[in-house]
Structure 1
């Protein structure tokens, strides 16, 4: 009976082992290689869009890191000041305690440190009472300074831990950006020169068709044509950046990503705005598309992962994607999510 059970167990183990081996060696499902240029175009759009999403997350983490580094520096300065004050108060408290132990009046150094009128301090008839009050004041200040120092130190520790987390997040998003861009470049590198030209023509036709459909709605008869003074400054800044390369994570002066360009344009106009396209969409005032005017920002895609500066006549200035440069393009060449106004 035992031999039968052992034999059955052996056969079961062999069967399971064989099944696992077959599963391990069986070909796993993989993303199909794009065949037609239309498929190549779709895959490139996906890869560059994913890269832009990761870029936006990288920018957000970078902004947090920058802010937290400044906060840590400020907290360290306050901690140093509190430590200096703590040392001075400890010294004064020690001097007061020694004087009281000896039965003396207020020490000379404390008289001059604490008196509103040091010249008259030695002649004050109520010096003993003042000494007692002053000593109590020093002890109270000493306790408060110690508590403040502990609070600042704990706060600095919390900020440092948050800073470390955001640095890790920044590194993760950096790797994601590089991965998507590398995949897109590998795909493009396999194309012949004629295919690259046809791909560019296909991209232009898609943009032109989308723009034509948008214009046919009569939208340009409704939108504003006059920018505000600040809007004109933002447009002037963006115009001066034409031809500069797109570099993810960059905000000038030699290169930009999409939200780096728009945030710097409006900073130059005297209106600081959030760094990322998602935050620009979330925090700036939304305006209806038909009320759009030059200087407004158009936010693209359902995830608000791209942004451009509207300059009028149905055109935008944008920093599009890796391998491209800042240029003027049709406003409706991409899926419009909405419009925001930095100087509302």
Structure 2
């Protein structure tokens, strides 16, 4: 016998089936875990009068936008694989049920054969097309109550199995599309990161050491508009645990798509820290922006999520004292920075 798996609220306004399915899921996993060959792309032309730090900000923003889209597609692919596994289990169980019903009908046929003759209606029941037997009025007239019930059970089981196989085929097609999308998203991230790396290496060592995201003039103006931030305790015990978890990984490298425990992207760090506190956050910064109650910036408390840029492409965790902890950009490590390092879109309290 085969074995089976058992399976916004108002706030801040700063602005054929089983084998095929499993093979496809394995192929998708292999495609995602493959090497990360660099993809060459021309750097975007700098705007007139744009300094290198401002241009670097723009390039990292592009990279983070692409990373968040990649993360969302990866999360979708993970859900699809789980759905496929569930459907595969159900199809296996459905096939087992069909086999058992056909075995029962076979046993009944054997009984009649030993009795001297095989009823023609049972021959219909054991055919490759039991649906057809229901259309045979003469045969049904010859069936006893037991045989009729078994035939209806077999017919229902085979219909259910066909439905499960059809669902699995649909999930397989969706997974195939998502896997192709992941490849495109991955290429977009690599192109943006390659361009940002070229801009970063063009800086002097001193400039590189002093570079902070949002170093352009607009961010400087926004920092001047920040309210006074009182030094408040964490809003909850879980928020305090999340802050502690984020502090424990200070110095870990930024790696796009990573969720810890040894490397992180910006939203991956938030998901990891709150996961350690027993709170399940969604994967992307855009989703995390809506994963709790919005609060004004002047009421921010440790553990609150600070969402940056109009597209919500970066997220950090407020830790008090006017600072956040975050995974800044590739080549940097998890660190503290001023809360006003970039234009703030929202503050969310999970």
Q: Specify the TM-score bucket, using the shorter chain as the normaliser.
A: 0.7 to 0.9
**Paired position in structure 2 for 1:290:** 298
Evaluate the alpha carbon distance shift between residue 337 and residue 239 of structure 1 in structure 2; reply closer, same or farther with a 3 A threshold.
Answer: same
Q: Tell me, in whole angstroms, the C-alpha distance in 2 between the residues paired with 1:164 and 1:62.
A: 12
Q: 2:285 aligns with which of 273, 277, 289?
A: 277
Name the SS of the counterpart of 1:295 in structure 2: coil
Q: Tell me, in whole angstroms, the C-alpha distance in 1 between the residues paired with 2:250 and 2:349.
A: 22
**Paired position in structure 2 for 1:317:** 325
**Cα RMSD over matched residues?**
2.9
**Paired position in structure 1 for 2:258:** 250
Q: Tell me, in whole angstroms, the C-alpha distance in 1 between the residues paired with 2:206 and 2:277.
A: 43
Check the 8 A contact 1:208/1:330 in 2, yes or no.
no
Q: 1:64 aligns with which of 67, 70, 76?
A: 76
Matches for 1:1-344 after TM superposition, within 5 Å: 32=45, 39-97=51-109, 99=111, 132-193=144-205, 196=208, 203=215, 210-211=222-223, 213-214=225-226, 217-218=227-228, 220-221=229-230, 224-342=232-350
Evaluate the alpha carbon distance shift between residue 98 and residue 155 of structure 1 in structure 2; reply closer, same or farther with a 3 A threshold.
Answer: same
Deviation at 1:194, TM superposition (A): 5.2
Check the 8 A contact 1:206/1:333 in 2, yes or no.
no
Residue range with higher mean Cα deviation, 237-246 or 81-90:
81-90
Higher helix share: 1
Deviation at 1:101, TM superposition (A): 7.5
Number of matched pairs: 282
Name the SS of the counterpart of 2:215 in structure 1: helix
Q: Tell me, in whole angstroms, the C-alpha distance in 1 between the residues paired with 2:215 and 2:264.
A: 22
Q: Tell me, in whole angstroms, the C-alpha distance in 2 between the residues paired with 1:286 and 1:148.
A: 46
TM-score, normalised by the number of residues in structure 1: 0.74
Mark the structure with the bigger radius of gyration: 1
TM-score, normalised by the number of residues in structure 2: 0.72
Deviations 1:143-193 (A, max 9, x none): 221111111111111111111111111111110111011111122333344
Deviations 1:277-328 (A, max 9, x none): 0111234332333333211111111111111111122211100111111001
Q: Tell me, in whole angstroms, the C-alpha distance in 1 between the residues paired with 2:78 and 2:303.
A: 27
> Which ranges in structure 1 are unaligned for 5 or more consecutive residues?
1-29, 105-130
Check the 8 A contact 1:225/1:294 in 2, yes or no.
yes
Q: Tell me, in whole angstroms, the C-alpha distance in 1 between the residues paired with 2:332 and 2:225.
A: 25
Name the SS of the counterpart of 2:337 in structure 1: strand
Q: Tell me, in whole angstroms, the C-alpha distance in 1 between the residues paired with 2:54 and 2:252.
A: 26
Evaluate the alpha carbon distance shift between residue 227 and residue 204 of structure 1 in structure 2; reply closer, same or farther with a 3 A threshold.
Answer: farther
Q: Tell me, in whole angstroms, the C-alpha distance in 1 between the residues paired with 2:206 and 2:278.
A: 46
Q: Tell me, in whole angstroms, the C-alpha distance in 2 between the residues paired with 1:58 and 1:87.
A: 43
Deviation at 1:260, TM superposition (A): 0.2
> Which ranges in structure 2 are unaligned for 5 or more consecutive residues?
1-42, 117-142
Deviations 1:6-61 (A, max 9, x none): xxxxxxxxxxxxxxxxxxxxxxxx9645787x521111111110000000000001
Check the 8 A contact 1:34/1:40 in 2, yes or no.
no
Evaluate the alpha carbon distance shift between residue 310 and residue 192 of structure 1 in structure 2; reply closer, same or farther with a 3 A threshold.
Answer: closer
